[in-house]
């Protein structure tokens, strides 16, 4: 990858041997290795047996999960907040595992729509809940820095499974709970 980055720098009209760029190929390769680490992560490893039998049938929500990803069309970042909810059936999942699932899929070349679906499907297949809801709100630098250059636009996607899809009251409760933000301090 470092050789490719050197070639890219040269193709841009830069001198990859100049002082400020000498280490750039190594740094970029290391950066891409981290930013795409989701390809080398599997769901079982992320969950790490953190599934528990609990008598609880109310909604579990982890909201405002910060994430970043790379758009697969331009390889530019998109980032924002992910809100995840589920209605347990027989199992609950360790709360820290939900952000880890988000990160696993976000650290791949992505489109926001697929990312939203992958998170919902992973939770569904892992714990078999009565329902899963995922909402992602993101800013896409491919829209802000190039193309239409709309710096203040936000893209919102959702994936609803089970009770969140079939029961308007459940879906409404979730959407209301993620809408209520913490007051500014």
Please identify which of the residues 7, 72, 113, 151 carries the catalytic annotation: 72
Please identify which of the residues 82, 110, 118, 140 carries the catalytic annotation: 140
At 95 the pLDDT is: 97
Between 146 and 25, residue with greater pLDDT: 25
Does residue 142 have an active-site annotation?
Answer: yes
**Mean pLDDT, the chain, as a whole number?**
95
Closest C-alpha among 88, 86, 98, 89 to residue 43 = 98
d(C-alpha 117, C-alpha 110), whole Å: 11
Please identify which of the residues 7, 23, 73, 172 carries the catalytic annotation: 73
Does residue 82 have an active-site annotation?
Answer: no
At 151 the pLDDT is: 86
Domain 43-179 has CATH 3.30.1130.10: yes
Question: What are the pLDDT digits (tens) for 172-181?
Answer: 999 999 997 6
Instruction: Reply yes or no on whether the pLDDT at 67 is more than 80.
Output: yes
Q: Where are the alpha helices (DSSP H) in the chain?
A: 2-11, 24-35, 43-47, 97-106, 112-127, 141-144, 163-166, 168-179
Please identify which of the residues 74, 117, 137, 173 carries the catalytic annotation: 74
At 117 the pLDDT is: 98
Closest C-alpha among 116, 105, 102 to residue 156 = 116
* Spatial contact of 169 and 144, defined as CB atoms under 8 Å apart: no
- Mean pLDDT is lowest, of 11-15, 60-64, 107-111, 179-183, for 179-183
- H or E element, residue 75: none
Does residue 73 have an active-site annotation?
Answer: yes
Instruction: Reply yes or no on whether the pLDDT at 184 is more than 80.
Output: no
Closest C-alpha among 71, 97, 66 to residue 81 = 66
Does residue 180 have an active-site annotation?
Answer: no
| Residue position matching structure tokens 């999942």 | 93
Instruction: Reply yes or no on whether the pLDDT at 185 is more than 60.
Output: no
User: What are the structural domain ranges in the chain?
Assistant: 2-35, 43-179
Question: What are the pLDDT digits (tens) for 117-131?
Answer: 999 999 999 999 999
Does residue 112 have an active-site annotation?
Answer: yes
DSSP symbols for 141-153: HHHHTSTT--TT-
* Spatial contact of 164 and 86, defined as CB atoms under 8 Å apart: no
Instruction: Reply yes or no on whether the pLDDT at 11 is more than 70.
Output: yes
């Amino acid at each position: 990858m470092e050789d490719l980055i050197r070639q890219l720098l040269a193709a841009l009209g830069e001198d990859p041997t100049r002082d400020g760029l000498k280490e750039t190929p190594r740094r970029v390769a290391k950066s891409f290795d981290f930013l795409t680490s989701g390809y080398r992560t599997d769901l079982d490893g992320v969950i790490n047996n953190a599934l528990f039998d609990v008598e609880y049938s109310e909604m579990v929500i982890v909201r405002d999960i910060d994430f970043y990803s790379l758009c697969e069309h331009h390889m530019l970042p998109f980032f924002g907040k992910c809100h995840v909810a589920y209605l347990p059936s027989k199992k609950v999942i360790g709360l820290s595992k939900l952000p880890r699932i988000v990160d696993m899929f976000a650290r791949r070349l992505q489109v926001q729509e697929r990312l939203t679906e992958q998170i919902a499907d992973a939770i569904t297949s892992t714990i078999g809940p009565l329902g899963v809801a995922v909402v992602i709100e993101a800013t896409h630098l491919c829209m802000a820095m190039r193309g239409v250059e709309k710096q203040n636009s936000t893209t919102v996607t959702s994936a609803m499974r089970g009770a969140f899809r079939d029961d308007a009251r459940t879906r409404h409760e979730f959407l209301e709970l993620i809408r209520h933000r913490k007051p500014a301090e």
